[in-house]
Amino acid sequence: MAWLDRNQQRSWRAFLVGTTLLMDRLDRELREQHRISLPEYEIMVRLSEAEDNRLRMAVLADSVSHSRSRVTHTVSRMEAAGLVVRDACLSDGRGVEAVLTAEGRKALEDAAPTHVSGVRRLLVDLVEDEDLEAVGRVFDAVTDALIETNPAMDFR
Amino acid sequence: MAWLDRNQQRSWRAFLVGTTLLMDRLDRELREQHRISLPEYEIMVRLSEAEDNRLRMAVLADSVSHSRSRVTHTVSRMEAAGLVVRDACLSDGRGVEAVLTAEGRKALEDAAPTHVSGVRRLLVDLVEDEDLEAVGRVFDAVTDALIETNPAMDFR
DNA sequence: GCTGATTAGTTGTTGTTTCAACTGTCAAAT
DNA sequence: ATTTGACAGTTGAAACAACAACTAATCAGC
């Protein structure tokens, strides 16, 4: 079994630490300034981009790469907070759609500048465009590999 | 306030999704094959690299970029599992050192091949060396910026 | 149109992380 | 010597996430 060479090791650790700190901070900024968590924000973004501001739970779960159970719980909290509502799916009796409310849209619009400026300030504006694109390539490859070698992706 | 352009947006989302999936998977592999979580593994790696297999709690927390409280809880669980022990710090009565036990070292040595092969298989071997180095550069920059603009790093 | 297998989503329990409050120690100034 | 403020680490409660067991609807094959 091959170990990582010095450079690979360095890159990997930089990634681990940097990601941990970055996600923490983006989450913190959203919570402090808008009382919204990063997972909640991501869900609202997906809904806002969807046809009619609504998405089936499973689609939503896949698009944010969280387990269905997790999305169920998160959406429940968001529903209690008035950011989304649940609506039965007409075409499939088992289905449930999450719908962004007007209040949710407002919250998203308020929060977006905070989030985007964070992403810029703490990542995008710090690095060369090519390096950022390399990051995109790398994690697209990672995602593909993970979806390929899927160990029981079904019940996530 | 500037939004992200199309490419930046794509890279950012690829990163978000890829990271989520990758971390989930690495954590899952360690749990299933060795009953150890990724945070626990990281702590053991730091201890194993330290002089005498021991590190003060605060140093440990900083080196994995987790909150002190989190490290306290994690180390408590690891202590209960026999992977580490706590030891009072001689030079500073407030200090506590976490020490890797023989059992912990054994667990780490067992788990390391699983972890490294995961990192290779799911990341390192998938991409060009230069792209991986770009990732390293990017997250080094991110880390620096976050440590600079430190919003009360003390109580993390 | 039944039956069994799948799929969608939820639920409750348990494990982990965060947050704020706390204990005890140290160091500097008085 | 004592006070004050900072520091190291822990604690318990609350928020969140993971897991496995569940309900209900659909679909495929007969």
Q: Which contiguous run of DSSP H or E holds residue B58?
A: helix B57-64
Bridge partners (DSSP) listed for residue B96: B88
- Classify burial at A78, counting beta carbons within 10 Å of its beta carbon; exposed 0-12, middle 13-18, buried 19 or more: buried
pTM: 0.92
Which pairs count as long-range contacts for A149-154, CB under 8 Å and 24+ apart, including other chains? Answer: A149/B122, A151/B25, A151/B28
| Residue A44 near residue A82, CB atoms below 8 Å | no
- What is the pLDDT at residue B52? 95
Tell me the pLDDT band of A151, cut-offs 50, 70 and 90: low
Chain D bases closer than 7 angstroms to a protein Cβ: 7-12, 16-21, 24-27
Residue A20, min C-alpha distance to chain B (Å) = 7
Tell me what pLDDT residue A100 has.
Answer: 98
pLDDT in tens, chain B (156 residues): 788 999 999 999 999 999 999 999 999 999 999 999 999 999 999 999 999 999 999 999 999 999 999 999 999 999 999 999 999 998 898 999 999 999 999 999 999 999 999 999 999 999 999 999 999 999 999 999 998 887 654 444
Q: Does A14 score more than 80 pLDDT?
A: yes
How large is the average pLDDT for residues A82-101? 95
Contact A27, A38 (CB under 8 A): yes
User: CA B24, C1' D8: Å apart?
Assistant: 32
Distance B156 CA to D3 C1' (A): 28
Q: Are A74 and A66 in contact (CB under 8 A)?
A: yes
Could you give the angle at the alpha carbon of B143 between the alpha carbons of A4 and B47, nearest 5°? 50
B8 touches strand D (CB under 7 A): no
| pLDDT-based confidence at residue A147 (cuts at 50, 70, 90) | confident
B7 vs A4, A16, A133: nearest CB: A133
Rounded to an integer, what is the distance from CA A11 to the centroid of its chain?
A: 23
Q: What secondary structure does DSSP assign to B7-24, as a single string?
A: HHHHHHHHHHHHHHHHHH
Instruction: Give the chain A residue nearest B15 (alpha carbons).
Output: A139
Give A154's pLDDT tier (boundaries 50, 70, 90): very low
Three-state SS sequence of A31-86: HHHHCCCHHHHHHHHHHHHCHHHEEEHHHHHHHHCCCHHHHHHHHHHHHHCCCEEE
User: Looking at residue B95, what DSSP letter applies?
Assistant: -
* pLDDT band, very low/low/confident/very high, at A129 (cuts 50, 70, 90): very high
The tokens describing B69, both together, are 């409280």
